Every structure is written in structure tokens, then in C-alpha cells.
């Protein structure tokens, strides 16, 4: 339920409302705009239905939220959210940030080399996995904290923000020491205990869509993070599993438009995982920007043939540079910037 407060509402009236609703078991989420203050209340629906919040002093209007994902929905917040990474980088504005780098942090020199090259081509965020979820337990699982140190050092040297995947809630504190953005991978989209824990931190979180998840399930997963207090969530479409075998996954380009209608959260696209083939990444990237995505995540590697993971979908640095040049033209055509 959304409570819209009057222009002249006093802090005393707000405190009174919050005190009364807390006793009813309702959890408030306050959003202060230029003209209006709005409070979204989450809690037992029977309480929300029978409690006449309209009678409280300072309340102008009470609006029920019909969507199952309350805080994520446009009903709660009609204006599109902008997730700020640092002073120069944000998701949801006119400029489209590009995340680039290898699937895995393989060595200190390797991540440094890639960082320098993607920075020169226009990327602003460096990616690299330190803890890798692999289908086989015998494949490379990542360098752990050593990899985080390499990623952090390369990012700082070349002025890039950093992102890595978190798989275990026990690693959140460690990862937060080294990177700017946490990523929840497709396999963990419905790891609700992990979602709750990243909801308790302030760092931005990229939430990837599950391999067979519906958009509703995806948004409900985001709701877990927001309901625990962290509104710095960026959704990421990375392709879904269908009957098609020509590509690794099927890029659901519709998801960009659908999510923007249903939710205020920014949405980015990962064309590398969506296609699984480096020579399809450019086309999928251009389509994503044209569709209105708020960011891209591209895998780049100096030597894809010998990559520890995801070599077939990784771009060479020179190919990445050419793709970036094309994307700038597409972005300009839809009044955005790369």
C-alpha cells in the first residue's frame, strides 16, 4: 500500500503514522520527492485492508499496490530509478555504462592488461569472477580473495569501477572490501537467503535473470532485496533457456521493454551469455541499446582460445573496440550516450 503525504505534512505527523503502523506489523519504505513524500507499507494484507490510514493527519491519499512485487513496481514509484555507482557512473540515466572484462580473473597481469584495453575503448566498469559457479565441480572455480585483489588493483589503476559475482552470503563482507558492485548470477536468482543478505548492504547489486525464470519471478527476486532495504538494484537480462540450440541461450529482448513498463528499476543486458558466440555479440548489443537498455555487460579476453571459462563468447580487445564504436551510433539514434 502506498501512502501519499500532503505538501504541508509535519515531521511529527510522519512520526505518529510510522509509530502506529509499526505496532500493526507494517514495514515502511519512505521515498521523498521534490513535491511529495510517499511511504510504501509492506506487511500482512489483511491489516492493510482494514486499517484506515486515510484518517491519519498529514495523509493525502492511500493507493493499494496490486502487483505482487510492491517496492519494485511502477505503482510504488512511477519515476525511473537511477542507481549511482560513483560520481561519474550511474545506471538509468542518459549515459549507458559498459561493463567489460573476462569471465574469470585468471592472473594479475591478465586482468591488468584487459582493464587497460577496455578503458581505452570506453568501458567504465571492469568485470571479473573471483568465485565461479561452474556446472562441473572439476572445472576452474576462481582465485577467491587473490582474484578480488587483482580485480580491485586493476580497477583503481585505470579508473574503472569493479563488479564480481557473489555466490555465498558468507563472502559478502569480503567481496564488499574490494569491489563497487555485487552481481547475483542466474543460478542464484532465487537463492532467497542470499538475496536477503545483499538487501542489508548499501552497495549496488546486479540481479541476473534466472535461466528459465519468468519476468514476474525475476521481479519478485528483486523484491527480496528491496524489502530488506537496498534499493540500489540493476536488473540484467542474460538470455533464457528455450528449445533453440543455435545459441547458448535465447536473448529475450522483449524483457527490456516489459520491465520498463512494470518496474522503475534500471535494466541492463548481457549479450555474451545470451548468445554464447562472440560473433553474435555485436548484433545483440546493438539490439539491446536500440530497445532501451540501461547498460551492457560484455566479456573481453586477450586470448579467448585459452580462457579458463567462456572463451567462445569472449571478444578480443580490438573487436570490443569496434563494437563500442558502433554502439555509440546506435545510442545517439535513440537519444542516449555510450
- 2-63 and 83-333: identical CATH topology: no
What's the predicted TM-score (pTM) here? 0.89
Please state whether 25 falls in left (phi above 0), alpha (psi between -120 and 50) or beta.
left
pLDDT at 139 over 90: no
Query: How would you write the chain as a 3-class SS string?
Result: CEEEECCCCCHHHHHHHHHHHHHCCCEEEEEECCCCEEEEEECCHHHHHHCCHHHCCCEEEEECCCCCCCCCECCCCCCCCCEECCCCCEECCCECCEEEECCECCCHHHHHHHHHHHHHHCCCEEECECCCCCCCCCCCCCCCHHHHHHHHHHHHHHCCEEEEECCCHHHHHHHHCCCCEEEECHHHCCCHHHHHHHCCCCCCEEEECCCCCCHHHHHHHHHHHHHCCCCCEEEEECCECCCCCCCCCECCCHHHHHHHHHECCCEEECHHHHHCCHHHHHHHHHHHHHHCCCCEEEEECCCHHHCCCCHHHCECHHHHHHHHHHHHHHHHHCCCEC
| Mean pLDDT score, 181-194 | 97
Please state whether 101 falls in left (phi above 0), alpha (psi between -120 and 50) or beta.
left
pLDDT given at position 233: 98
Distance (Å, whole) CA 329 – CA 333: 6
User: pLDDT (tens digit, 9 = 90+) per residue, 237-249?
Assistant: 999 999 999 999 9
Distance (Å, whole) CA 35 – CA 38: 10
Cα–Cα nearest to 147, from 109, 113, 197 = 109
**Bridge partners of 241?**
none
pLDDT given at position 54: 85
User: pLDDT (tens digit, 9 = 90+) per residue, 120-138?
Assistant: 999 999 999 998 766 777 7
* Every domain of the chain and the residues it spans: 2-63, 83-333
pLDDT given at position 113: 97
Range of lowest pLDDT (60-64, 107-111, 173-177): 60-64
pLDDT given at position 48: 65
Q: Indicate the pLDDT class of residue 181, thresholds 50, 70 and 90.
A: very high
pLDDT given at position 134: 67
| Mean pLDDT score, 297-320 | 94
User: pLDDT (tens digit, 9 = 90+) per residue, 88-100?
Assistant: 999 999 999 999 9
pLDDT given at position 201: 96
pLDDT at 293 over 80: yes
Q: Indicate the pLDDT class of residue 142, thresholds 50, 70 and 90.
A: confident
Q: Indicate the pLDDT class of residue 34, thresholds 50, 70 and 90.
A: low
Give the list of residues 6+ apart from residue 11 with CB closer than 8 angstroms, or none: none
Between 236 and 2, where is the model more confident? 236
Cα–Cα nearest to 205, from 222, 183, 225, 221 = 183
| Mean pLDDT score, 298-324 | 94
Q: What percent of the chain has pLDDT over 70?
A: 98
For domain 2-63, give the CATH number: 3.30.70.1140
Q: 83-333, which class in CATH?
A: alpha beta
Distance (Å, whole) CA 5 – CA 41: 13
Q: What percent of the chain has pLDDT over 90?
A: 75
Write down the mean pLDDT value for the chain: 93
Q: Indicate the pLDDT class of residue 43, thresholds 50, 70 and 90.
A: confident
Q: Indicate the pLDDT class of residue 259, thresholds 50, 70 and 90.
A: very high
Distance (Å, whole) CA 28 – CA 318: 50
pLDDT at 44 over 80: no
User: pLDDT (tens digit, 9 = 90+) per residue, 153-179?
Assistant: 999 999 999 999 999 999 999 999 999
Residue 32 φ/ψ, nearest 5 degrees:
-100, 115
pLDDT at 47 over 80: no
- Quick one: cell of 183? 552481481
pLDDT given at position 135: 72
pLDDT given at position 289: 98
Amino acid at each position: 500500500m502506498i501512502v501519499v503525504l500532503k505538501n504541508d505534512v509535519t515531521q511529527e505527523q510522519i512520526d505518529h503514522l510510522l509509530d502506529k503502523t509499526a505496532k500493526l506489523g507494517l514495514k515502511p519504505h519512505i521515498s521523498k520527492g521534490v513535491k511529495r513524500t510517499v511511504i510504501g507499507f509492506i506487511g500482512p494484507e489483511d491489516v492493510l485492508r482494514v486499517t484506515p490510514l486515510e484518517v491519519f493527519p498529514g495523509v493525502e491519499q492511500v493507493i493499494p499496490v496490486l502487483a505482487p512485487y510492491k517496492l519494485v513496481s511502477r505503482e510504488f514509484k512511477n519515476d525511473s530509478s537511477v542507481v549511482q555507482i560513483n560520481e561519474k557512473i550511474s545506471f538509468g540515466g542518459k549515459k549507458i555504462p559498459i561493463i567489460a572484462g573476462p569471465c574469470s580473473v585468471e592472473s594479475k597481469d591478465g586482468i591488468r592488461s584487459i582493464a587497460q584495453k577496455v578503458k581505452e575503448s570506453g568501458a567504465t566498469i571492469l568485470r571479473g569472477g573471483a568465485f565461479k559457479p561452474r556446472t562441473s565441480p572439476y572445472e576452474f572455480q576462481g582465485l577467491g580473495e587473490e582474484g578480488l585483489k587483482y580485480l580491485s588493483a586493476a580497477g583503481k589503476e585505470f579508473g574503472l569501477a569493479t563488479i564480481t559475482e557473489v555466490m555465498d552470503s558468507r563472502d559478502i563482507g569480503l567481496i564488499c572490501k574490494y569491489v563497487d558492485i555485487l552481481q547475483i548470477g542466474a543460478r542464484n536468482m532465487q537463492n532467497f537467503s542470499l538475496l536477503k543478505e545483499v538487501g542489508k548492504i548499501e552497495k549496488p547489486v546486479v540481479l541476473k535473470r534466472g535461466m528459465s525464470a519468468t519476468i514476474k519471478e525475476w521481479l519478485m527476486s528483486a523484491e527480496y532485496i528491496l524489502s530488506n532495504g537496498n534499493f540500489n538494484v540493476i536488473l540484467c537480462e542474460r538470455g533464457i533457456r528455450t528449445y533453440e540450440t543455435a545459441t547458448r541461450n535465447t536473448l529475450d529482448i522483449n524483457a527490456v521493454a516489459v520491465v520498463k513498463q512494470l518496474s522503475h528499476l534500471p535494466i541492463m543486458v548481457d549479450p555474451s551469455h545470451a548468445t554464447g558466440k562472440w560473433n553474435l555479440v555485436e548484433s545483440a548489443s546493438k539490439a539491446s541499446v536500440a530497445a532501451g537498455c540501461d547498460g551492457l555487460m560484455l566479456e573481453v579476453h586477450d586470448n579467448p582460445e585459452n580462457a579458463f571459462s567462456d572463451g567462445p563468447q569472449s571478444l578480443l580487445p580490438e573487436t570490443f573496440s569496434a563494437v563500442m564504436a558502433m554502439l555509440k551510433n546506435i545510442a545517439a539514434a535513440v537519444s542516449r550516450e555510450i
